[in-house]
Structure formats: structure tokens, C-alpha cells
């Protein structure tokens, strides 16, 4: 017998995807650099389905039906190149190599080009949902040739998460690095989602005096509103957890320095290259960096920097109006983060020649992945018939904002007066206000740029570019004329 797919790299993600494939009726060939992981998987889970044990990549290749499909699930970075280099001489034309790790999209673009020259298909798939998703149904974002997806797609769709309406959370995204790019932006949005929840928690605690156990109940209740999502659900669980050692809320004994593995940073770096204003994601990445980057500065600042608080109307402990304001501010900030992420995807599509369907991308995030949320169904609908110039301009979201904005302003004003940091709540509100502002101070910036660098400016009343002779008589000239 031959296997329909092979998996090399059987750490937690590879092992769980292999088990998921086997549970769905596929014969799966297993390979890992060190055979112990292969044997451990077989010893514990052979009942999941039909596995073929292999010890070498040659055996793996020989065990597969043609065209072969080989899923690489090794550590991201140079190990992926190492495995590809070992596999290539063993493969035949039209075989498909799949990289399901968290690879950086420029690497995927490079690998796809190199393998296409050898008449091999390379598919970079973004997989979200962690270990549990990999086993029970992840959200899958595949990029690569459409032809490769024809043979691979049905398997991936079968093992993927299913949206509430039963649709698979897996669909071809576009060519080469598009799948990994979309997964990267997913992770960037995840950073922003987590940060806005953190800001809400901080406000409830420090302004409305709501302790973690009581907050767990509030988050549970919020999970029955527009905010319904996996991250809100697990936040309730984390806040309810009591530390066995001290009897304190667990959140109070966890060091307040957030880690990061890099995908949020990649998102912001790519956004800078694209000129996509993802301020919510950027602030979230920076907030983690600020929390952990310089503990000594934080310690000194606590003792030394003046607080300069402003007296405002007091909020009573557990004040329900304030709590509801925070919920609305959280939701509005979350909408902005998604709008910024979608805008970044639209810009990337144009830059990298990917025909990205934003409604399809939103649909893939409805289940299986970390940012899964009720909101994704609404975002999908917003992009279905026509593409709004900005997600917030879809009528459904504009209508929602009508209700959210006053609360959002009250919360940001209160946080500012009381010295509670709300980098994403406040930067998202600034983004929102900048978007709707009739005249931006960008006009003044253009004047300054023209002053020191003769960068020229456009006029509101005539075509072309203009320059003022700042160091001369300050008369204005048509910049285009001066170049001819
Ligand atoms: P790891 O990232 O910890 O990688 C370990 C695996 O890589 C082992 O099978 C190891 O083999 C293999 N490996 C490392 N270097 C080499 C090499 N040079 N040649 C061959 N094999 C090598 O595994 P995970 O399962 O955690 O993650 C796999 C991928 O999935 C990563 O890209 C990760 O970022 C991504 N991912 C992880 C998620 C998670 O929740 N963990 C979620 C989504 C994606 P050996 O046993 O011989 O050491």
C-alpha cells in the first residue's frame, strides 16, 4: 500500500497534523530526523488510523503515491531549507512539497521560485490553532500554484476547522508566499486582539476596582455579546484561575513581561514596507517590548517620573456604566485593528501580485485559529459583494460605530487622566479620527518638507506640484516647470 501524504517533522505540530490526517481516513507516512519521535507517535496513537513508519527520507518518498505530497513540519528557518535540499534529489516532476511551519513569507517566495525551476510544486501553508487546532481542525491558509492546490486542497479542507455553517476554514489564498503572509497578518491581529483585552482588564481593575475573579464573570458575559471569541473565552478562564501556591489570582503572580516569537514583528516590518498604517498591531508589538525590554527603566520610572494625574469624576467600584464603556471601547479598537489588517492585505495583494479575496480570508479565520470570533462572519459579509475603501466604511460597521464611539472617547479620556496606559485603545481612536478628519496637519508637513528639502507640494486649487523659494524671495513656482 502507498500513503496519500507524508509528514516529516513530528514534534507537536507535525504529529498532531499527521494524526488529524489519519483520523480523516488518509494513509500517512511518518518521518522524523530522529526516529524516536516517529516511534513515540506510533506507540501512543497508532489507533488513530493508517500510518506507514519510515526511517529515512528515501523510505518516506518511496512510500508515497504519485504525485507525492510531503508536508514539512520542522523548525522554521534554515531547517526547512535543509530538509528541502535533502528531498529534492529524491523527487519527481510535479511532486508537491508543503511547508506548514511558521515560515517568513519572503523565504516561501524564494523557495517556491527555486522549486518551480526544478518542476516541483512548493506550497507554503499558514496553520493556526496551536497544538489542539492541528489535531482537531486548524485554520489553514495555503499559498502556491493553483495546480498543486488541486491535488492537495481536498486533504487540507478535510482536516481543517469548520465554520459554524459547515464550510472548511481552508481555501487557496494565492501564489507563492501568500498563505504565509496571511498567516503572519493573522498573528499580527492576534497581538492586537490580546493587547486590547489586556487594556480592558487594566482599566476595569485600576479604575473600576474589579478584581480578577469578578472580571472572569464579566468576560464570560462579554463573550455572549459582539465580542464573542476564543480569546475572550480563554481570558475568562485565565482570570478565574487561582494560584495553588499562594491562593492569589494566578494573573497576580505571573511576571508582567510579555514574550514574543516574531510574527507580530514581521507583520509590522512588512506593513512599514507597504506603507500600511497598522498602528494597533504596531502598538501591541511595542507594548510587549516595553513590558519586557528594560526592567531597570520601568523600576526607576515607577519611583521617579511624576504622575501628574487630572481630577475627573470618580468611577465607583464595579460601576456598570464604566464597564459597558470599556466593553464598547474594546470592540471599537478591535474593529480598527481588523480594518488595519484588511487594509494591509489589500496593499500586499497589489504589491506582491496576489489576487487576495478578503472575504475568503476572513472566512478562514471564523474557526480553528486563535482570532476566531463571531466578528469574522460579519467581516466576511462586509467584503462579499463589494470591497469598501476601508472596512469601517462597510455600512454594518459604520452603524456599529455610531453606538461605540462616545464610550470609546470617554474611556480613552479617563485612562489618560488617570495615567493608565491604553496604547491600542488610544492609537486606534486617533486612527479613526484621522480617517474622518477633513483637513489633516499633513498639509503643514508638506510645507516643512518643501522648506528644508524642496520636496514640493500639491495645491488644493490647481494640478501639478509646487515649490516655494524659501531661501529666496518666497515666491511660488510650478515645480514641474522648473525641472524642464
Ligand atoms: P519545533 O519548531 O519545535 O521543531 C521541532 C522539529 O523540527 C523536530 O521534529 C525536529 O527534529 C525538527 N528539526 C529541527 N531541525 C531540523 C533539521 N535541521 N533537519 C530536520 N529536522 C529538524 O516543532 P513544532 O511542532 O512546535 O512546530 C513546527 C512548526 O510549526 C514551526 O515552524 C512552528 O513555528 C510552527 N507552528 C507551531 C505552533 C505551535 O503551537 N507550536 C503553531 C503553529 C505553527 P528532531 O526531533 O530530530 O529534533
Tens of pLDDT along the chain (484 residues)? 999 999 999 999 999 999 999 999 999 999 999 999 999 999 999 999 999 999 999 999 999 999 999 999 999 999 999 999 999 999 999 999 999 999 999 999 999 999 999 999 999 999 999 999 999 999 999 999 999 999 899 999 999 999 999 999 999 999 999 999 999 999 999 999 999 999 999 999 999 999 999 999 999 999 999 999 999 999 999 999 999 999 999 999 999 999 999 999 999 999 999 999 999 999 999 999 999 999 999 999 999 999 999 999 999 999 999 999 999 999 999 999 999 999 999 999 999 999 999 999 999 999 999 999 999 999 999 999 889 999 999 999 999 999 999 999 999 999 999 999 999 999 999 999 999 999 999 999 999 999 999 999 999 999 999 999 999 999 999 998 765 4
Q: State residue 196's pLDDT score.
A: 98
CB of 94 closer than 6 angstroms to any ligand 1 atom: no
Q: Tell me, in angstroms, the distance from the centre of ligand 1 to residue 334's CA.
A: 31
Rounded Cα gap, residues 281 and 460, in angstroms:
33
CA distances to 201, 251, 305, 352, 409 from 322, rounded to whole Å, are 12, 22, 28, 44, 12
- Closest Cα to atom 2 of ligand 1: 75
Question: One of 37, 112, 157, 183 is an active-site residue; which one?
Answer: 183
CB half-sphere exposure, 248, CA atoms < 13 A: 6
Q: Tell me, in angstroms, the distance from the centre of ligand 1 to residue 80's CA.
A: 9
- Closest Cα to atom 40 of ligand 1: 130
Rounded Cα gap, residues 179 and 356, in angstroms:
10
Q: State residue 431's pLDDT score.
A: 98
Q: Does residue 141 sit in helix, strand or coil?
A: strand
Question: One of 37, 112, 157, 190 is an active-site residue; which one?
Answer: 190
- Could you identify the atom of ligand 1 that is nearest to the CA of residue 36? 46
- Could you identify the atom of ligand 1 that is nearest to the CA of residue 9? 9
CB half-sphere exposure, 235, CA atoms < 13 A: 27
- Closest Cα to atom 3 of ligand 1: 75
306-331: b or e for each residue (b if 16 or more CB lie within 10 Å)? eeeeeeeeebeeebeebbebbbbbbb
Phi and psi angles of residue 162, each rounded to the nearest 5 degrees, phi first: -115, 135
Rounded Cα gap, residues 337 and 277, in angstroms:
10
What lies within 8 Å, CB to CB, of 60 at 6+ separation is 6, 8, 29, 31, 54, 70
Among 9, 137, 369, 370, which residue has the most ligand 1 atoms within 8 Å of its CB, making it the best to mutate? 9
Rounded Cα gap, residues 373 and 169, in angstroms:
13
- Which is nearest to 126 in space by CA: 82, 81, 67, 185? 185
In this structure, the dihedral spanned by the alpha carbons of residues 369, 375, 376 and 382, taken in order and rounded to 10 degrees, is -170
Q: Residue 437: left if φ>0, alpha if ψ -120 to 50, beta else—which one?
A: beta
Task: Give the DSSP letter string of 297-325.
Answer: HHHHHHHHS-------PPPPTT-HHHHHH
Q: Tell me, in angstroms, the distance from the centre of ligand 1 to residue 9's CA.
A: 6
Alpha helices by DSSP H, 137-177: 146-159
Q: Tell me, in angstroms, the distance from the centre of ligand 1 to residue 11's CA.
A: 6
- Could you identify the atom of ligand 1 that is nearest to the CA of residue 12? 25
Q: Could you count the other beta carbons within 10 Å of the beta carbon of residue 256?
A: 10
CB half-sphere exposure, 466, CA atoms < 13 A: 14
What lies within 8 Å, CB to CB, of 13 at 6+ separation is 73, 100, 101, 127, 131, 134
Return the bridge partners of 70, or none: 6, 97
CB of 167 closer than 6 angstroms to any ligand 1 atom: no
Contact status, residue 101 vs residue 120, Cβ threshold 8 Å: no
CB of 135 closer than 6 angstroms to any ligand 1 atom: no
CA distances to 33, 152, 234, 270 from 86, rounded to whole Å, are 11, 22, 41, 30
Q: State residue 479's pLDDT score.
A: 92
Q: What is the DSSP letter of 142?
A: E
Q: Could you count the other beta carbons within 10 Å of the beta carbon of residue 89?
A: 10
- Which is nearest to 407 in space by CA: 309, 332, 318? 332
Residue with cell 464573570: 217
Q: Could you count the other beta carbons within 10 Å of the beta carbon of residue 75?
A: 13
CB of 126 closer than 6 angstroms to any ligand 1 atom: no
CA distances to 20, 103, 187 from 99, rounded to whole Å, are 17, 8, 17
Q: Does residue 194 sit in helix, strand or coil?
A: helix
Say if strands 121-128 and 96-99 run parallel, antiparallel, or are unpaired. parallel
Among 33, 84, 259, which residue has the most ligand 1 atoms within 8 Å of its CB, making it the best to mutate? 33
- Closest Cα to atom 38 of ligand 1: 130
Rounded Cα gap, residues 379 and 365, in angstroms:
10
CB of 40 closer than 6 angstroms to any ligand 1 atom: no
- Could you identify the atom of ligand 1 that is nearest to the CA of residue 33? 47
Ordered strands of the 28-31 beta sheet: 51-53, 28-31, 5-8, 69-72, 96-99, 121-128, 139-143
pTM of the full predicted structure? Answer: 0.96
Q: Does residue 473 sit in helix, strand or coil?
A: coil
Q: Tell me, in angstroms, the distance from the centre of ligand 1 to residue 8's CA.
A: 10
- Closest Cα to atom 9 of ligand 1: 9
Q: State residue 445's pLDDT score.
A: 98
CB of 72 closer than 6 angstroms to any ligand 1 atom: no
The reply to whether 261 belongs to the active site is no
- Could you identify the atom of ligand 1 that is nearest to the CA of residue 100? 30
Q: Tell me, in angstroms, the distance from the centre of ligand 1 to residue 220's CA.
A: 34
- Could you identify the atom of ligand 1 that is nearest to the CA of residue 261? 34
CB of 32 closer than 6 angstroms to any ligand 1 atom: yes
CB of 262 closer than 6 angstroms to any ligand 1 atom: no
Q: State residue 481's pLDDT score.
A: 78
Q: State residue 484's pLDDT score.
A: 47
Q: Tell me, in angstroms, the distance from the centre of ligand 1 to residue 167's CA.
A: 29
Among 13, 87, 180, which residue has the most ligand 1 atoms within 8 Å of its CB, making it the best to mutate? 13
CB of 12 closer than 6 angstroms to any ligand 1 atom: yes
Contact status, residue 27 vs residue 2, Cβ threshold 8 Å: yes
What's the farthest any 2 CA atoms get from each other in the chain?
87
Rounded Cα gap, residues 18 and 31, in angstroms:
10
Dihedral sign computed on CA atoms, order 396, 402, 406, 412: positive
The reply to whether 183 belongs to the active site is yes
Amino acid at each position: 500500500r502507498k500513503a496519500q501524504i507524508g509528514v516529516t517533522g513530528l514534534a507537536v505540530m507535525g504529529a498532531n497534523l499527521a494524526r488529524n490526517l489519519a483520523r480523516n481516513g488518509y494513509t500517512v507516512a511518518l518521518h522524523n530526523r530522529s526516529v524516536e519521535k516517529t516511534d513515540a507517535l506510533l506507540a501512543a496513537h497508532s489507533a488513530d488510523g493508517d500510518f506507514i513508519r519510515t526511517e529515512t527520507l528515501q523510505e518516506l518518498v518511496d512510500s508515497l503515491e504519485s504525485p507525492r505530497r510531503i508536508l514539512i513540519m520542522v523548525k522554521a528557518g534554515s531547517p526547512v531549507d535543509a530538509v528541502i535540499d535533502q528531498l529534492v534529489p529524491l523527487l519527481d516532476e510535479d511532486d508537491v512539497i508543503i511547508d506548514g511551519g511558521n515560515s517568513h513569507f519572503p523565504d516561501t517566495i524564494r523557495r517556491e521560485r527555486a522549486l518551480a525551476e526544478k518542476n516541483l510544486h512548493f506550497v507554503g501553508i499558514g496553520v493556526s490553532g496551536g497544538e489542539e487546532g492541528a489535531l482537531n481542525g486548524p485554520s489553514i491558509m495555503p499559498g502556491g500554484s493553483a495546480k498543486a492546490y488541486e491535488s492537495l486542497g481536498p486533504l487540507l479542507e478535510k482536516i481543517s476547522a469548520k465554520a459554524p455553517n459547515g464550510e472548511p476554514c481552508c481555501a487557496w489564498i494565492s501564489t507563492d508566499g501568500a498563505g504565509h503572509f496571511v498567516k503572519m497578518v493573522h498573528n499580527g491581529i492576534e497581538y492586537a486582539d490580546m493587547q486590547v483585552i489586556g487594556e480592558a482588564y487594566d482599566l476595569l481593575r485600576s479604575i473600576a476596582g474589579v478584581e480578577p475573579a469578578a472580571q472572569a464573570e464579566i468576560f464570560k458575559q462579554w463573550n455572549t455579546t459582539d465580542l464573542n471569541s476564543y480569546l475572550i473565552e480563554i481570558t475568562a478562564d485565565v482570570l478565574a484561575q487561582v494560584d495553588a501556591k499562594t491562593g492569589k489570582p494566578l494573573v497576580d503572580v505571573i511576571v508582567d513581561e510579555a514574550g514574543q516569537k516574531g510574527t507580530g514583528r514581521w507583520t509590522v516590518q512588512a506593513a512599514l514596507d507597504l506603507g500600511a498604517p497598522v498602528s494597533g498591531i504596531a502598538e501591541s508589538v511595542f507594548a510587549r517590548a516595553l513590558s519586557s525590554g528594560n526592567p531597570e527603566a520601568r523600576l526607576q520610572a515607577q519611583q521617579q517620573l511624576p504622575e501628574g494625574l487630572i481630577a475627573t469624576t470618580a468611577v465607583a467600584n464595579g460601576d456598570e456604566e464604566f464597564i459597558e464603556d470599556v466593553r464598547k471601547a474594546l470592540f471599537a479598537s478591535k474593529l480598527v485593528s481588523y480594518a488595519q489588517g484588511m487594509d494591509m492585505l489589500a496593499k500586499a495583494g497589489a504589491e506582491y501580485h496576489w489576487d487576495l479575496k478578503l472575504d475568503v480570508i476572513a472566512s478562514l479565520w471564523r474557526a480553528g485559529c486563535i482570532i476566531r470570533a463571531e466578528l469574522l462572519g460579519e467581516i466576511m459579509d462586509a467584503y462579499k459583494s463589494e470591497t469598501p475603501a476601508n472596512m469601517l466604511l462597510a455600512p454594518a460597521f459604520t452603524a456599529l460605530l455610531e453606538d461605540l464611539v462616545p464610550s470609546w472617547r470617554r474611556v480613552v479620556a479617563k485612562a489618560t487622566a488617570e495615567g493608565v496606559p491604553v496604547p491600542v485603545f488610544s492609537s486606534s481612536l486617533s486612527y479613526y479620527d484621522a480617517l474622518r478628519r477633513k483637513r489633516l496637519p499633513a498639509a503643514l508637513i508638506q510645507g516643512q518638507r518643501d522648506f528644508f528639502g524642496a520636496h514640493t507640494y500639491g495645491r488644493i486649487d490647481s494640478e501639478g506640484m509646487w515649490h516655494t523659494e524659501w531661501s529666496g524671495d518666497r515666491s511660488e513656482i510650478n515645480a514641474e516647470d522648473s525641472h524642464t
